[in-house]
Structure 1
Amino acid sequence: MFNLGWGVLFVIVNFALFLICYRAFGRNGLYAWIGIATVLANIQVTKTIDMFGIVMTLGNTMYGTLYLTTDLLNEKYGEQEAGKAVWFGFFTLIMTTIVMQMALVFEQQPEDIAHEHLQVIFGLLPRLALASLVAYFTSQFLDVRLFSMIKKVFPKPNQLWIRNNGSTGISQLVDSFVFCTIAFLGVYSTPVWWEILLTTFLIKFVISVASTPIIYIARSFKFKEEN
């Protein structure tokens, strides 16, 4: 029960920080969020937790906000801006992987207390980064394209929830399968791998549905420089 209560608070805090970031910094805040969320999601995913008696990884909430961000960019600024944000997140993850792998090569001095902990977290990053890059590239561009396609069928402002959840649901299914296959197949036992795959998708989809009011609130924000 502790993880469930803490998880709800965790989701609320993530959404609140997302809105603050956009309200304070406008479109630039969305690009900043993409960069931050991409890195944090790939760090958090190294931690597995138990909820409802099943195994799942952290990072799903933060990663789910990436879809929220690109859908918001697509809704307010167009498909080209959303695609640009996807490429920005792509670069951020590659940059983090390269820099941290180089940092781990340095020989630590005898009293160093950080290297082993960094090794545990970022030593896993190359495989996770590969999984995330392939899943990210596939699912995010799929999401951007699907959102635009659905928008042509459901273009009304009050149909945003259809565009958001429709494109995200399909994209997250693809993302979860690609990521879990590359990152965890062979690392965990097959039953645990299936649990991670199913719970990863379900949690992401729940986060997507929960984010629907958030994208409506964010869409209502007005900025002088964008008038």
Structure 2
Amino acid sequence: MITNILRDKPTRLFIILSGIFVANALIAEIIGVKIFSLEATLGFNPVNMKILGETYNFNMTAGVLLWPVVFLMTDIINEYYGVKGVRFLSYLAAGLILFAFVIFFWAIHLSPAAFFVTMKVNSGVPDMDKAYQQILGQGSLIIVGSLIAFLLGQLVDVFAFHRIKKVTGEKKIWLRATGSTLISQLIDSFVVLFVAFYLGPLLYNPDNNPVWPMSQVLAVCIVNYIYKFTVAIVLTPVIYWVHGIIERYLGHETAGEMKRTAMNR
């Protein structure tokens, strides 16, 4: 039975795309705890952009390196498996991300072995257990904000993709794929910062000021979106390349039928 399922090319393709989608979403959440300088990484001087009266550079979470892959997979899955396919994987990915953080929370609270705490002292880590907690123990507000932004961004991406495709038909793959990504990434960029650093702290304690003022939330959102916008444009040729691989793998007749069916799902 399993062998027959795996011999079915559309089913096998869905499993492959699903694995790439879920793996990248989960890894992006885990590595997102690191903030890196894009300019320093590329060997450039800080850009020192003036936004809303403040100076900002491209200091972003490491997770932004993988989110473009997630949204690329969203558009590919949307093309061949429709809205239901993307929604299923979005809910599955969100559930697995939440499950992963629950396991991290449980692992963090295990009592460390004595030698584990000091095993990396000579490498510049005086307390391995605290380092472990800081790396895997992301703040609850960041997790909540990230999950809300992920799900909302996915739903917006699906809606925009299908609206554009209904207007353009099978033509202009770049417009529906890149266009829907640009719209959904704008929402994703703002929601995660707004929930984690502005709305969340206010709801927890209305008497305190938010972690970030609204001007900073908007400014950092703009910086992140500029990066995501640029990457989405750069990845446009990759969309055609992936489409070409899938068309050859499935055959044009099967691929065409799947795309027609996906529009009604």
Give the letter aligned to residue 162 of structure 1. Answer: L
Structure 1 residues 101 and 142: alpha-carbon distance in aligned structure 2, compared to 1, 3 A threshold: same
> Compared with structure 1, are the counterparts of its residues 112 and 195 closer, same or farther at alpha carbon in structure 2 (3 Å cutoff)?
farther
The AA in structure 1 aligned to 2:249 is: F
Residue aligning to 1:49: 36
Amino acid at match of 1:160: I
Over 3 Å counting, the alpha-carbon distance change for 1:44 and 1:196 in structure 2 is farther
1:153-164 alignment runs, 5 A limit: 153-157=167-171, 159-164=172-177
> Helix, strand or coil for the counterpart of 1:59?
helix
The aligned runs of 1:65-144 (5 Å cut-off) are 65-113=69-117, 114-144=128-158
Higher RCO structure, 1 or 2 (CA under 8 Å, sep 6+): 1
Q: Indicate the SS of the match to 1:111.
A: helix
Q: 1:152 to 1:191 in 2, by over 3 A?
A: closer
Asked if the contact 2:157–2:180 (Cα under 8 Å) also holds between the matched residues in 1, the reply is: yes
Cα deviation, 1:102-127, whole Å, max 9, x if unaligned, reads 11111101111443222112211533
Label 1:36 to 1:117 Cα distance change in 2 as closer, same or farther (>3 A).
farther
Pair 1:190–1:145, CA change in 2 (3 A): closer
Q: Does the 8 Å CA contact 1:76/1:219 hold for their aligned counterparts?
A: no
Larger-gyration structure (1/2)? 2
Inter-CA distance 125–210: structure 2 relative to 1 (3 Å threshold)? farther
The SS at the match of 1:26 is helix
Q: CA contact under 8 A between 2:190 and 2:218: conserved in structure 1? A: no
In 1, are the aligned partners of 2:193 and 2:217 still within 8 Å (CA)? yes
Larger mean Cα displacement after TM superposition, 187-196 or 30-39: 187-196
What is the DSSP-based 3-state SS (H/G/I as helix, E as strand, rest coil) of the residue aligned with 1:156? coil
Q: What's the TM-score, normalizing by structure 2?
A: 0.69
2:19 paired with 1:40 = no
User: Residue 26 in 1 paired to residue 13 in 2?
Assistant: yes
Structure 1, unmatched stretches of 5+, are 1-24
- 5+ long unaligned stretches in structure 2: 1-11, 40-45, 48-56, 118-127, 199-209, 255-265
Calculate percent identity across the aligned residue pairs. Answer: 26
| Residue 232 (structure 2) aligns with | 208
27-36 or 179-188, which deviates more: 179-188
SS of equivalent to 1:46 = coil
* Matches of 2:196 and 2:99, distance apart in 1: 19
Alpha-carbon spacing, 1:109–1:189, altered in 2? closer, same or farther (3 Å): farther
Q: CA RMSD in A?
A: 2.3
Q: Which residue of 2 aligns with 1:218?
A: 242
In 1, distance between residues paired with 2:102 and 2:34?
A: 22
Kept after mapping to 2: 8 A contact 1:38/1:92? no
Q: Which amino acid aligns with 1:161?
A: W
Q: Which structure: greater helix fraction?
A: 1
